[in-house]
Amino acid sequence: MEPMTGYALREAIRDVLGHFWSESFGQIYPTLAELERQGLVKRRGSPRPGSSTFAVTASGRARLKELLAQPIRPVPPRNGLMLRLFFGRHLGPEACRSLVLEARADAERRLVQYEAIRKELELEADHTEDRPFWLLTVSAGEHTARAAIAWADETLAALDEIGASTDAPEERRRR
């Protein structure tokens, strides 16, 4: 994107790629040092905190292209919400309800964030070449979030059904 300090890089990853990527300081700084050793990035300024930025070199950009062309490494799925719902009989319909409500709220929050990112991208004058690609990732986030909301609404209705049929008879009569 542009020359940055390691700290700024982390903030950019969190704020811009946050919905599909993350890196910790423990990854960033050693990697930056290694990339510098390989001549893929160049440090400007002394290593004193707050006074050096890293810029990608020409060979760094070439290496980036190489890496982007490599096959996508699949990450083993691990969705805690789905696992809890799968064992929903043991957890109880009420607890499931709160989990789904929470997931719904998360998705709504994400939708708002995507809106904000869209706005920010439209205002920015730089990176006009990159913008259309960046918007693709925002759009993916929006589709996913909207799907999550639709699923949550369906699921809340289904959980009500389950709750009603599971209730002890006197529970049901009391309504």
**CA-to-CA distance for 103 and 106, rounded, in angstroms?**
5
Nearer to DNA, 2 or 153 (CB): 2
* Interface with DNA in residues 73-102 (CB under 7 A): 76, 78
User: Taking contact as CB under 8 A, which single stretch among the options 3-11, 41-49, 110-118, 141-149 is the one that binds its own copies?
Assistant: 141-149
Q: Which residue among 12, 52, 81, 146 contacts DNA (CB under 7 A)? A: 52
Q: Which of residues 3-42 bind DNA (CB under 7 A)?
A: 5-8, 22-27, 29-30, 32-33
Q: Does 25 bind its own copies (CB under 8 A)?
A: no
Dihedral through CA 81, CA 87, CA 90, CA 96, nearest 10?
Answer: 30
Residue 9 is a binding residue for its own copies (CB under 8 A): no
Binding of residue 55 to its own copies (CB under 8 A): no
Q: Which residues face 53 on adjacent strands?
A: 44
The option from DNA, its own copies, none interacting with 134 (CB < 5 to 8 A, set by class) reads its own copies
Catalog residues that contact DNA under the rule CB under 7 A. 5-8, 22-27, 29-30, 32-33, 47-53, 76, 78
Residues that bind its own copies (CB under 8 A): 17-22, 61, 64-65, 68-69, 72-91, 95-96, 99, 129-130, 132-137, 139-140, 143-144, 146-148, 150-151, 154-155, 158-159, 161-162
